[in-house]
């Protein structure tokens, strides 16, 4: 039986010095399709690897697009300018510059600036109470922090007042003793309305509560703070310098404002300030794509290695099973490179099939996920052909050793074993 199979194989082999490309393709396809069940098992690893790679590219680009569309609008419209810091020895730092008190006016004319406000924390912990006389038997409570701000703060942080109003430029210029309480600070102090003109005492000085914040878009710490006009803080609370200049900008103006704001504040020494500006949506998208690629490409590569090992094992098994056929071909004049080419073609064909199926599976997975999540699928035009090419390369690499092993089989030894 084995001799008849070898004879049939011999009749298919040309007696010329080498096989033509057509003969090699025909023999490779016959060898690949001779055992369909083995072919299916061999394809699994390659299909999974290519599907992972293709789906990874699609998921990364799709997720990057979605996040770029839905990125945090508040963070994207905020620029913060602070004085630079320099080491003075040990862990201590000192500011290398000061923000001018008219910083709001200086940056207001810059392109992209919508609102801006000076902001500072009062460095000393001053007592804040709603009564002048303290009950010594009452439990001690930590006072809410005190912050100073210019009148434009509410618009800059995109906040709203739950009751009352926010102080204006008149309060600031007159150094009026008025405060606005954050919602949490009002709760701690027991102030829930302003109709009776309640007051809080800061360092034994009475300040009239004119408003209570309801919410803020940025600087959530304001909700637990007592906010005083920056002019009042300079006169009464010893505020020597502003801590930062918060700027609310139009979306996409971050880089322009970041470059121009230090020049507007101090043309002679713009480098004395530290500017925190939002990254552009393109930078965010690239970062997201990069993070997803690193994660899933590793999975795809591992699956491809498994697929390549599977192709190599099956090709080696095929070489062992077809020793008689190889010996007969060699005896009829086929050269070693013809034998090697045949098995290389077979392994490349398996890898190519795995790449084609993997591309289809990966695109189908991407579309399915996008339909469920109601996303717009995004796929690079080069992803599909690259996936097919990678499958073929995996087959080529996996079939190299089995092909060389088949080419080294001597005709006499092969026919004796048959």
In this structure, are 345 and 370 located in the same domain?
Answer: yes
CB 130 within 8 A of CB 201: yes
DSSP states along 330-389:
HHTT--HHHHHHHHHHHHHHHHHHHHHHHHHHHHHHHHHHHHHHT------TTHHHHHHH
In this structure, are 52 and 154 located in the same domain?
Answer: no
Query: Which residues are bridge partners to 332 per DSSP?
Result: none
Query: Which residues are bridge partners to 129 per DSSP?
Result: 201
Lowest mean pLDDT among 170-179, 289-298, 329-338: 289-298
In this structure, are 80 and 183 located in the same domain?
Answer: yes
In this structure, are 314 and 405 located in the same domain?
Answer: yes
CB 96 within 8 A of CB 241: no
Report pLDDT for 245: 95
In this structure, are 228 and 94 located in the same domain?
Answer: yes
Average pLDDT value over all residues in the chain: 79
State which of 248, 279, 310 marks the end of a domain.
279
Q: Quick: pLDDT tens for 316-360.
A: 777 777 777 777 777 777 788 888 888 888 888 888 888 888 888
State which of 230, 245, 279 marks the end of a domain.
279
Which residues touch 295 (CB under 8 Å, ≥6 apart)? Answer: none
Domain that holds residue 341: 2-70+283-417
Which residues touch 67 (CB under 8 Å, ≥6 apart)? Answer: 284, 285, 288
Helix or strand (DSSP H, E) at 133:
none
In this structure, are 182 and 197 located in the same domain?
Answer: yes
Q: Specify the 3-state DSSP secondary structure of 134.
A: coil
What CA–CA distance (Å, rounded) separates 356 from 348?
A: 12
Tokens of 234: 């300079």
Domain count, the chain: 2
In this structure, are 312 and 219 located in the same domain?
Answer: no
Q: Quick: pLDDT tens for 150-161.
A: 999 999 999 999
* pLDDT higher than threshold 90 for residue 173: yes
- What's the half-sphere exposure (Cβ side, CA atoms, 13 Å) at 71? 21
In this structure, are 329 and 207 located in the same domain?
Answer: no
* pLDDT higher than threshold 90 for residue 116: yes
In this structure, are 266 and 308 located in the same domain?
Answer: no
Of the candidates 84, 105, 349, 130, the residue with the CA atom closest to the CA atom of residue 243: 84
CB 307 within 8 A of CB 354: yes
CB 328 within 8 A of CB 18: no
3-state helix, strand, coil in the chain (%, to 5): 55, 15, 30
In this structure, are 88 and 54 located in the same domain?
Answer: no
Task: Considering only CA atoms, give the Rg of the chain.
Answer: 38
Tokens of 415: 């026919």
Report pLDDT for 318: 74
What CA–CA distance (Å, rounded) separates 282 from 98?
A: 33
Report pLDDT for 39: 64
CB 213 within 8 A of CB 159: yes
State which of 236, 251, 279 marks the end of a domain.
279
What pLDDT band is residue 75 in, cutting at 50, 70 and 90? low
Sign of CA dihedral 295, 299, 305, 308: negative
Strands 146-149 and 226-229: parallel
In this structure, are 231 and 296 located in the same domain?
Answer: no
More confident residue, 258 or 131: 258
In this structure, are 296 and 406 located in the same domain?
Answer: yes
């Amino acid at each position: 039986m084995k001799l008849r199979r070898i004879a049939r194989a011999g009749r298919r082999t040309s007696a010329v010095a080498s096989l033509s490309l057509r003969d090699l393709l025909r023999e490779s396809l016959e060898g690949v399709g001779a055992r369909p069940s083995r072919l299916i098992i061999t394809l699994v690893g390659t299909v999974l690897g290519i599907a992972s790679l293709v789906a990874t590219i699609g998921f990364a680009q799709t997720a990057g697009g979605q996040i770029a569309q839905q990125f945090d609008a508040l963070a994207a419209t905020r620029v913060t300018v602070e004085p630079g810091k320099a080491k003075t020895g040990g862990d201590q730092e000192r500011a290398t510059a000061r923000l001018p008190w008219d910083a709001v006016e200086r940056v207001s004319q810059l392109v992209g600036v919508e609102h801006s406000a000076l902001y500072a924390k009062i460095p000393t912990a001053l007592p804040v109470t709603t009564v002048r006389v303290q009950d010594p038997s009452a439990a001690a409570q930590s006072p809410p922090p005190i912050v100073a701000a210019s009148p434009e703060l509410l618009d800059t942080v995109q906040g709203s007042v739950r009751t009352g109003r926010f102080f204006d430029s008149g309060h600031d210029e007159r150094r009026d003793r008025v405060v606005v309480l954050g919602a949490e600070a009002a709760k701690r102090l027991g102030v829930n309305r302003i109709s009776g003109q309640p007051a809080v005492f800061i360092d034994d000085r009475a300040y009239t509560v004119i408003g209570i914040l309801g919410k803020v878009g940025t600087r959530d710490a304001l909700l637990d703070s007592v906010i005083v006009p920056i002019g009042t803080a300079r006169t009464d609370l010893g505020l020597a310098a502003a801590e930062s200049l918060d700027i609310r900008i139009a979306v996409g103006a971050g880089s322009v404002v970041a470059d121009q704001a230090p020049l507007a504040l101090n043309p002679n020494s713009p480098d004395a300030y530290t500017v925190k500006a939002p990254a552009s949506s393109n930078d965010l998208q690239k970062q997201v794509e990069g993070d997803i690629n690193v994660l899933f490409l590793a999975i795809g590569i591992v699956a491809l290695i498994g697929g390549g090992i599977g192709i190599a094992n099956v090709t080696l098994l095929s070489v062992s099973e077809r020793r008689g056929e190889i010996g007969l071909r060699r005896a009829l004049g086929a050269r070693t490179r013809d034998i090697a080419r045949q098995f290389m073609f077979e392994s490349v064909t398996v890898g190519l099939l795995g790449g084609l199926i993997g591309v289809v599976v990966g695109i189908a997975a991407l579309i399915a996920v996008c339909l469920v999540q109601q996303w717009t699928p995004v796929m690079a035009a080069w992803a599909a052909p690259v996936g097919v090419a990678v499958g073929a390369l995996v087959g080529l690499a996996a079939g190299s050793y089995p092909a060389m092993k088949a080419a080294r089989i001597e005709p006499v030894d092969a026919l004796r074993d048959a």
